[in-house]
Homo-oligomer: A and B are copies of this chain.
């Protein structure tokens, strides 16, 4: 399979064998500054060239999986993604036309693809009701419900854009709503909120975590706000969808038990009648999206899934 994880700054690309082995890796720049049309052209070129490389190396390309950070309309094959300057862009049709009928192209949401990979070979292996929640620049969720990854026609899983901050403290989110989880608990939010609180510019969430470890009270304050909202979100998700395991991913999970222990404790204290989920770190890191793209493309090419 050709697999491409298209982000706002980079395309992580690979050739993946049927057994999940990554036989080739490369990274290309996403020409976002040149506009949405240029991003799509670069994506199409990348998928075509990776297929040519595979053929030249003597492999048969069965399918191409492309994951994107945006809303995929499953019926239309169009993508809307602020990061890529796409609005209802006909990505699937252009990709499929470029690679021809021998390679079936599958489009998937980056986080859902990552969740799919975690279920197949990562921290959620063996689960039928679970959640993959990467805390990165943004926050979205991959929901596994009754054995299937939830799509909701491409719209489901926006736990990051659910209100978990109330009243005066609720900031306006990029999505247009107020008080979204993403405004306090994403890696980007931690850095931004620490900066707003102290007037000091920090170099990302990693620096906030270092300050936290060093006992900085402002770092502790923004961290506590993030944890409070995250516990709310996990309790809500547990009440509504009853996962047995929750895998936290993204940059923030680099904090390890500093993040996971208070989440476990907070959720445990709040639950009453609900089934308590395990809360663990995701296992596949940055490669999850690309692996998920390959697995999804493989499954689509191999025919409909069976229960």
Interface, chain A (partner B; CB < 8 A): 71, 128-129, 141, 143, 145-146, 148, 150-159, 161-163, 166-167, 175-177, 232, 235-237, 239-244, 270, 272-275, 304, 307
Contact = CB atoms under 8 A, between A and B. Distances in A.
Contacts of A153: 128-129, 242, 244, 275
Nearest to A180: B239
B240 A71 contact: no
Nearest to A128: B153
B162 A240 contact: yes
A161 B71 contact: no
> Ordered nearest first, which 5 A-B pairs have the shortest CB separation?
A152-B242, A176-B272, A155-B242, A156-B242, A158-B239
Number of copies: 2
A85 to B, nearest CB: 15
A274 B240 contact: no
State the main secondary structure of chain A at its contact with B.
loop
Contacts of A150: 145-146, 241
Given A145-B152, A175-B273, 14 more contacts: A145-B150, A153-B244, A154-B242, A155-B242, A157-B240, A158-B239, A158-B274, A161-B273, A161-B274, A162-B236, A162-B239, A162-B240, A163-B236, A176-B273
Contact of A151 (B146, B158, B162): B146
Nearest to A166: B166
B242 A163 contact: no
Contacts of A270: 177
A134 to B, nearest CB: 16
A165 to B, nearest CB: 10
A232 B163 contact: yes
Contacts of A307: 304
A154 B274 CA distance: 11
Given A175-B272, A236-B236, A307-B304, A152 B146 contact: yes
A275 B240 CA distance: 20
Contacts of A239: 158-159, 161-162
A106 B239 CA distance: 24
Q: Tell me which of A128, A141, A161, A241 has the highest count of chain B C-beta atoms within 10 A of its own C-beta.
A: A241
Contact of A159 (B145, B240, B244): B240
